[in-house]
Amino acid sequence: MAELANLLGRESSPYLLQHAANPVHWRPWGEAALAEAKARDCPILLSIGYAACHWCHVMAHESFEDLETAALMNRYFVNIKVDREERPDIDHLYMSALQAMGEPGGWPLTIFLTPDGAPFWGGTYFPPEPRWGRPAFRQVLQAIAEAWQHNRAPLEKNARALRTALRQLSVAQQGPMPDEAALQSVFQRLLQATDPEQGGLRGAPKFPNPPIFRLLWQCAIRWHHSEAAAAVFRLLDKVSQGGIYDHLGGGYARYAVDAEWRVPHFEKMLYDNAQILELLAFAHAARPKRLYAERAAETVAWALREMRVFAADGSAAFASSQDADSEGEEGHFYVWTEAEIDALLGPAAPEFKAAYDVRAAGNWEAGKNILRRLTPEGDSAYEQRLAAARAVLFAARSKRVPPGRDDKVLADWNGLMIAALARSAWIFGEPAWLAAAEEAFGFILTQLGTPDGRVAHAWRAGRVSAAGLLEDQANMARAGLALYEATGKKHFLTAALGLVAAAERWFTAPEGGFYTTAADAADLPLDAETRLLSVTDGVTPSGNGVMAEIFARLYHLTGEDRFRQKAESILRAFGGAAESFAGACTLLAAADLLRNATVAVIAGDPAHPLVEEMLRLARTSPDPAVSPLHLAHPADLAPTHPAFGKAVPKEGALAYVCRGQSCSLPVASAQDLLGLLGAARLDSETA
């Protein structure tokens, strides 16, 4: 007989542990919970959220901590709680089901399932009393329980229909590879959707949407498109000066609730900050700007100060998120009253208040101010005074109760941060960032690595809590390639190839592309018929898009045609879904990379100053499609590489710029190399 108790206290996820004291008899996701539902012949109530989710906290306080509500849940349902960050595969499946019902997505996600895991009805947040056009959660519970006991047929009909819809998510949509015309079409649609005044996409709420702006940047470089470049610069300028940025501690919040980036949803996610850091690096490489350098340095400082998680061996990787709430209030840690500013800054307060929009009445809720920079950049003395004031406020803020931190380590999100640090270290001249990236890469391979070559998805306090998904293998392989290009150390390339091989072995779909979950996954709902096969980017790049990028980059780096074939296989697997390409920006960027990548081959002794300078130029290119490749000996390249057989000087350096299957004549100066890479740099008019 199933244990009549809340079982979440046995878990390691901070989100699940937040609910371990609820009177609800929560179960973690797994075969035991599904078996219990079958034995009781009762529906499953599946609740999905994450530790930094504000509305998840609200629903928990209102409903899951309420004895009357918990009694209804325990009487009529098997209640399963899932951390969406720990099990993004489960979250994606049921979020897709909710959207198939015609409902908007969001968290907390509340889904009702048959005992075998088939969804039949759902929603997101439900209030404790009828409100905002939503029924009370207790009303929902009673209605579902009544229908299950006395009128089950409509629920089972819904479940069959949704099962059919979900099954389509496991089928490839084969077609021709996305070509230049497809890229142009999506590019124009996305560019038209950007906000010409406030940056980002039009409307509210406003998310940074890094995969979209990463594609716009790549197109801006490729086509010397000034409007696309301006859209990226505008996004970075606005988010870096708005309330969505933490002007005291560094780091970007997940999104803004308004159209001006003024009021954030205060949680900070590792994945957002990693991708914005990489965009800052690209933009700064094209148009050096003090704002970008400062925000990059502050964001990395935040990540190294507040987000590092340490293993028993002393190595560190990065935690997943910081909460929006502290002391039970959203944003409480981050906001200020005018009186607090006046007391702390004294005579410096008026200047600071004018610069950061601090008002007596508040610029958010009554009396509460979210810091956002209003004044333009001033002279050195002005900026130094503001910096000193910020330091005073930061010291005072550090005495407040901080928001909670979800300290589980996720392989895929760490992969994004590692790659961003590897590129940013060169562009911003911060070698310590590269060392942090190498350390985190080693942490993931050591602490989350498995004997068969995969990496697991989630780790906390010495314990792996979720098996590896496609995105984990893909983002860590991409991180390995980024470190190889940033350092020239071949063990990073070897590690990346090992992760690629693991992805091919465990995740390959028969018609091309890769499933999200591994072939040996044992706790999937609805068996193998719902192994997701997705190319749509979310807040992070899709695993299939990243795999296509990896194969394209490997093809150009090694010259091995098998990598081109593998990239093309992924591109064709989703080529029949042209109407959905606007949601597959990473895939389109990979298709462009396969056609147009540039490899800067630098030949010579790595210790020679000219070799170092040429590599630096290649590593600081603003073009995402430029890869540096150091050549110390003629035998370092395979015969299939277009630079095979090129001369390696005994002294000095030679550089060859290879595009496609042809390479330039050698150049022997950094200036000449810069000229060859000129197509990959924005001219002054564009910038």
Query: For the domain that residue 136 is a member of, what is the CATH number?
Result: 3.40.30.10
pLDDT of 72 reads 96
Low-confidence ranges of the chain (pLDDT < 50): 679-680, 683-687
pLDDT of 525 reads 80
Indicate the residue type of 10: R
Indicate the residue type of 671: Q
pLDDT of 687 reads 39
Token pair, residue 243, equals 């309330």
pLDDT of 153 reads 94
Query: Does residue 107 form part of some domain?
Result: yes
Query: Does residue 28 form part of some domain?
Result: yes
Under DSSP, the state recorded for 124 is S
Element (H, E) at 653: strand 653-659
Distances (CA, A) of 265 to 323, 437, 567, 654, 669: 10, 28, 37, 51, 50
pLDDT digits (tens, 9 = 90+) for 146-156: 999 999 999 99
pLDDT of 684 reads 39
Burial track 502-533 (b if 16+ CB lie within 10 A, e otherwise):
bbeebbbbeebbbbbbbeebebbbbeeebbbb
Show which of 170, 196, 230 is a domain's final residue: 170
Give the separation between CA 278 and CA 540, rounded to whole angstroms: 13
Show which of 397, 419, 450 is a domain's final residue: 397
pLDDT of 1 reads 54
Query: Does residue 24 form part of some domain?
Result: yes
Task: Decide: residue 38, CB within 10 A, 0-12 exposed, 13-18 middle, 19+ buried.
Answer: middle
Q: Is the dihedral of CA 269, 450, 478, 429 positive or negative?
A: positive
Contact 300, 439 (CB under 8 A): no
Contact 571, 631 (CB under 8 A): no
CATH of the domain at 656: 3.40.30
pLDDT of 682 reads 54
Query: Does residue 458 form part of some domain?
Result: no
Token pair, residue 66, equals 């309420």
pLDDT of 102 reads 87
pLDDT of 134 reads 82
CB-based contacts of 398, cutoff 8 Å, min separation 6: none
SS3 15: helix
Indicate the residue type of 373: R
Query: Does residue 505 form part of some domain?
Result: no
Query: Does residue 23 form part of some domain?
Result: yes
Give the separation between CA 503 and CA 372, rounded to whole angstroms: 43
Show which of 397, 418, 451 is a domain's final residue: 397
pLDDT of 529 reads 65
Q: At what angle do helices 290-306 and 270-286 cross, to 10 degrees?
A: 150
Query: Does residue 459 form part of some domain?
Result: no
What is the domain extent for residue 613? 598-680
Query: Does residue 182 form part of some domain?
Result: no
Token pair, residue 275, equals 């991708």
Q: Quote the number of domains for the chain.
A: 3
SS3 537: coil
Distances (CA, A) of 442 to 18, 466, 495, 639: 30, 19, 10, 31
Distances (CA, A) of 461 to 14, 114, 115, 458: 11, 34, 33, 11
